[in-house]
Amino acid sequence: MTDVKTRIEETIKSNDVVLYMKGTKTMPQCGFSSRVAGVLNYLGVDYVDVNVLADEEIRQGIKDYSDWPTIPQLYVKGEFVGGCDIVTEMTLSGELDELFDAKGISYNKEAAEQIRAANS
Question: What is the length of the chain?
Answer: 120
The DSSP annotation for 48-108 comes to EEEEGGG-HHHHHHHHHHHT--SS-EEEETTEEEE-HHHHHHHHHHTHHHHHHHHHT----
Residue type present at position 92: L
Specify whether the CB–CB gap between 18 and 74 falls below 8 A. yes
Q: Which residues contact 24 (CB under 8 A, 6 or more apart)?
A: 49, 51
Q: Is 84 annotated as a binding residue?
A: no
> What's the rounded Cα separation, in Å, for the pair 116 and 91?
7
**Which residues make up each annotated binding site?**
30
**Which residues make up each annotated binding site for [2Fe-2S] cluster?**
30
